[in-house]
Chain A
Amino acid sequence: MKYVIIGNSAAGTAAAETIRQQDPHGEIIMLSRDTNFYSRCQLHLVASGQRSPEQANFLPADWAQRYGVDLQLGRSVSEIDMARRLVRCEDGEQFAYNRLLLTTGSRSALPPVQGMDGPGVYGLRHMADAEQLRQVYRNQRHIVIIGAGLVGCELAEALVEVGHPSVSLVEMSPYPLPLQLEEVTGRRLGHMMQQHGINLYCGDGVTQVERNTDGTPAAVHLKSGKRLPADLIVAAAGVRANTELLTRLGAECNRGLIIDEGCRTSLPDIFAAGDVTECRDVTLDRVMSSAIWPAARKQGRVAGTNMAGGKASLQEHTGLRASVSLFGTSMVSVGAVFSPDPAWQKQIYDRTDSRGRLCSKICYSDSKGVLKAAILWGDISQAGLYGEAVLKRCQLGDLDPGDLPDYLMQAVV
């Protein structure tokens, strides 16, 4: 059996490991544009210089030998020939497959704004982005980051932590992390970021990038009419899934490739996993993409099992789970806190812990008392229990709004 995996990140490597566990002798070929293994989740730390590119590696050095994977790194796939079951690379090399897995992830999308295309504007998705940012950011006086989602916030924090004096963050929503937080915690975070020196512009958007005569950025103009000086711009306001290799062949696709619970695409013997896909999310019961590492790993394992002839299906799959720590405060969010059902009841429970930190729990439960979504702020040590309660549809119960029922779900204060 010949397995070809495109992509060597979260989903691709998880799939290779699983295939090898099931099929000791099959040939596993891993093709990737990336030239190294690295965890994208650490790119903001590489960009700020807090971690070296080597430290961002998430696999042991002998990984490929251990799992018997034929690594073909630095190769971009340009075409898939379904009729002849071949994968063609840009350099002309081609590889035959019996089962193919696409884990091509996504790329940064630049906001469609006048003046955005050109030098001085970066995304943060690949190691090359991070290395370039690391080389240039110190010499740029004003940095403007567009989008206060996970990547934007984490990058802004990292740049401020290493002492950059002028970091601005522009976000359309009224508060940062709009997909992970709600009004109260969101505004609290916004306040905290400002106190730590980030110039935060929420409820505002970039309308134009003003450029100097030499083409370098001069400023960004906001909807509100403000003009922010900008020497370096990072676009962290959206991604586009790298679906083209399969959409060209007619694969069913929304914004991501649609996969079933076995991670199969609509094309024969072609599987997909990770950020490039869309599938059913248990918390919302809706087909949607998941842009988190654990979800990509899980899809990779399910795809790998099925490719090798085993039986696995995505159970309790969700991309709506995030953990982020900013300026020493940790937060975890589970479920669709960004669009709570009007029928859900929202309970907020604040306390101060023994170290004087403000800790909050925000729980959303439906009319039957089942926990649907939750945010933990400050003390996150029990976050996994809340996640488990959402996935397993446990009742929040009649206890203190901060607690979950039964001893297992009890909040440990």
Chain B
Amino acid sequence: MRKKIIDVANCTGCKNCELACIVAHSPNENLQQAYKDGGIAAIRSRCKVELTSEGQNFPRHCQHCEDPQCVRACMSGALSKGDDGYVVCDTETCVGCYMCVMSCPNGFARPSTSGRRMMLKCDGCTSRDCMACVENCPTGCLSVEETDLPGDSVEYLNRPEPRESRV
């Protein structure tokens, strides 16, 4: 199984991953055209570099959870976890009830900003040879590893501790 490894310590906050994600999901992978056509607002990056309350860069990506709450909540059958471990949405089937949005504990199931009511999430770039974010990460923060280990399809290294547990 292919896992995405995120080594938080290596993130410099360059946001190449976000940009690559937007490009990969723009029509024909042509960002310039999408911008000209005014459709750019509809393309959201599925991943996001955030700052922790202590000012550390924290790249956040859909975890493609082992037990995905978004899939658990889906009432249309649009969301499913494939044999490859990646959680994808069949946009034709999605009705935009947003129960996945309500249920994802990480905030990575989101309403789409394009005209149609449907959800939007990281698709693991399952149709590409390499994930766009990983391909464009210049620091080695994002990488891909072949592994048989169970668990989420996205693994964090050096993940910042939640504030509660630090007290």
Contacts and interface: CB of A to CB of B under 8 A. Distances in A.
Q: Which of A385, A406, A410 has the most chain B CB within a 10 Å cutoff?
A: A406
A395 interface: yes
A294 B105 CA distance: 14
Contact of B97 (A41, A298, A334, A395): A41
B2 interface: no
A384 B104 contact: yes
A202 interface: no
Contacts of B48: 412
B75 A293 contact: yes
Contact of B99 (A55, A60, A323, A385): A323
A58 B75 contact: yes
Contacts of A394: 164
Contact of B96 (A10, A55, A57, A325): A325
B163 A406 contact: yes
Interface stretch (B18-26, B51-59, B128-136): B51-59
A387 B103 contact: yes
Interface in B54-106: 58, 69, 72-77, 93, 95-99, 101-106
B78 to A, nearest CB: 9
Contact of B51 (A41, A42, A406, A407): A407
B160 A407 contact: yes
Given A41-B75, A58-B77, A293 B99 contact: yes
A321 interface: yes
Contacts of B113: 355
A297 B72 contact: yes
A362 interface: no
B61 to A, nearest CB: 13
Interface stretch (A66-74, A249-257, A282-290, A375-383): A375-383
B111 interface: yes
Given A323-B102, A412-B50, A60 B77 contact: yes
Contacts of A382: 107
Interface in A217-263: none
Contact of A388 (B52, B101, B105, B163): B105
B4 interface: no
B166 to A, nearest CB: 9
A59 interface: yes
Task: Tell me the interface secondary structure of chain A in the complex.
Answer: mixed
Contacts of A405: 53, 163-164
Contacts of A293: 73, 75, 99
Interface string A302-322: 000000000000000000011
B64 to A, nearest CB: 15
A188 interface: no
Interface string A381-413: 111110110000011000000000111101010
A408 B166 CA distance: 13
B76 A380 contact: no
A59 B77 CA distance: 6
B96 A381 contact: no
Interface residues on A, range: 35 or more
Given A407-B52, A408-B162, A294 B95 contact: no
A332 B58 contact: no
B106 A385 contact: yes
Given A45-B95, A406-B164, A323 B101 contact: yes
Given A42-B95, A323-B97, A332-B98, A384 B111 contact: no
Given A42-B75, A42-B76, A412-B50, A384 B109 contact: yes
A300 B125 CA distance: 32
A384 B75 contact: no
Contacts of A325: 96-98, 117
Contacts of A57: 77
A385 B164 contact: no
Contacts of A410: 50, 53
A57 B92 CA distance: 13
Nearest to A41: B75
A388 B162 CA distance: 13
Nearest to A379: B111
A51 interface: yes
A93 to B, nearest CB: 29
Nearest to A292: B99
A22 interface: no
Contacts of B103: 294, 321, 384, 387
6 contacts: A293-B75, A297-B73, A323-B99, A380-B111, A394-B164, A406-B163
Q: Which 7 A-B pairs have the closest CB atoms?
A: A406-B163, A407-B52, A58-B77, A384-B104, A294-B73, A388-B105, A323-B102
